[in-house]
């Protein structure tokens, strides 16, 4: 568990790229009750806009750096905003690879104001090496054709639908946004590679036969940068069910020119083959299709085509929800 004080003030930075604020967007979408407002320029989540002192007066407790970038570094341009939040008495939560405490002026300011710095990608204890031993309970893992295709959103949509039907279910966060939403989890891309499978076994331990863990996926077996993390997740999850996540209209791997999005059939078969190392009974349960680029008008047609091709439910979690898929689990 992470001792994150709520409510949050979400920091959106000063960039114009909407993908940069996916951490903030995810928190606002799935836990709006935790969000007192937003801070930043250009982009907006249509939350009340506050500077840190105004937000603190309204009751905010933590300033969340709700941004992602390719390097994982804290931008120098954000430091004045972070210092202003510290000066207002807010704790700081950071999901990037670079630690807040490694920036001297931030560390000194936090010590002076007696506020806490949460580097959620680094706050975990010792982890075991994976065993591959069969364990009880049921597990569902989100996998993808690429990164940033909606694996976390899909997992949360599935968990919400299952909870509405009184399933015994938990969302298991493996990334910084999921951890900030759930308040617990393991930042799997910060784990030493030898321990990734063991970390997922630790995150999703043996349980009773009726219990489901819905596990947030990361990266893709077909992404040249992140395939190792995805493979470790597949082995450690020992998933009974895989949900393949894909963004309709995406033609190349994100930020990797020359690498095409994999063929869906090949991607599904490869993920199942890798998953069956630790669970020979792993199966494809559904396809989650992110229709952000093609629009809602195309969603029904595209989902129907994939359902016909693969004989499993296909849904856009933001348009359709996960109800049709959960019908088959009931």
In this prediction, residue 312 carries a pLDDT of 98
Same domain (yes/no): 174, 232: yes
In this prediction, residue 18 carries a pLDDT of 87
- Give 203's pLDDT tier (boundaries 50, 70, 90): very high
Pairing of strands 8-13, 62-65: parallel
Quick check: helix, strand or coil at residue 20? helix
Same domain (yes/no): 282, 202: yes
Does a structural domain hold residue 1? Answer: no
CA dist., res. 13 & res. 256, Å (int): 24
Cβ-proximal residues to 155 (8 Å cutoff; 6+ apart), any chain: 140, 142, 171, 178, 214, 215, 216, 217, 243
In this prediction, residue 125 carries a pLDDT of 77
pTM (predicted TM-score): 0.90
In this prediction, residue 205 carries a pLDDT of 96
Looking at the chain, the number of H-run helices and the number of E-run strands are: 11, 11
Does a structural domain hold residue 128? Answer: no
Give me the helices (H) in the chain, please. Answer: 22-30, 52-58, 79-87, 104-113, 151-164, 176-182, 196-203, 227-237, 264-275, 296-310, 323-329
pLDDT at 196 over 90: yes
Please report, for the domain that includes residue 60, its CATH number.
Answer: 3.40.50.720
217: DSSP letter: P
Q: Quote the number of domains for the chain.
A: 2
- Domain hosting 43: range is 8-119
Same domain (yes/no): 81, 199: no
Residue-wise pLDDT tens digits, 152-168: 999 999 999 999 999 99
């Amino acid at each position: 568990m992470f001792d994150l004080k709520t409510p949050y003030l979400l920091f959106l930075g000063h960039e114009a790229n909407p993908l940069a604020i996916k951490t903030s967007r995810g928190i606002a979408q799935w836990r709006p009750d935790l969000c007192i407002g937003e801070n930043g320029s250009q982009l907006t989540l249509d939350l009340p806009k506050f500077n840190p002192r105004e937000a603190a007066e309204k009751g905010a407790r933590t300033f969340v750096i709700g941004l992602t970038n390719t390097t994982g570094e804290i931008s120098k341009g954000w430091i004045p905003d972070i210092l202003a939040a510290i000066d207002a008495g807010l704790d700081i939560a950071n999901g990037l690879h670079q630690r807040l405490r490694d920036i001297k002026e931030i560390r000194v300011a936090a010590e002076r104001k007696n506020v806490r710095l949460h580097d959620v990608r680094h706050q975990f204890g010792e982890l075991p090496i994976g065993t591959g031993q069969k364990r009880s309970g049921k597990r569902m893992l989100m996998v993808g054709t690429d990164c940033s295709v909606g694996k976390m959103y899909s997992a949360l949509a599935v968990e919400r639908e299952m909870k509405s039907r009184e399933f015994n279910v938990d969302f298991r966060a493996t990334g910084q946004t999921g951890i900030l939403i759930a308040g617990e989890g393991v930042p799997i891309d910060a784990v030493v590679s030898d321990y990734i499978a063991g970390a997922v076994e630790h995150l999703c331990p043996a349980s009773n036969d009726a219990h489901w863990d819905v596990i947030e996926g990361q990266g893709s077996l077909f992404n040249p940068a992140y395939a190792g993390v995805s493979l470790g997740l597949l082995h450690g999850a020992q998933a009974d069910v895989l949900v393949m996540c894909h963004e309709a209209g995406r033609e190349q791997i994100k930020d990797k020119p020359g690498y095409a999005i994999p063929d869906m059939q090949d991607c599904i078969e490869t993920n199942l083959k890798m998953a069956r190392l630790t669970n020979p009974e792993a199966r494809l349960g559904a396809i989650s299709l992110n229709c952000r680029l093609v629009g809602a008008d195309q969603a029904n047609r595209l989902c129907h085509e994939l359902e016909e091709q693969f004989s499993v439910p296909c849904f856009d979690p933001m348009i359709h929800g996960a109800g049709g898929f959960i019908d088959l689990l009931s």
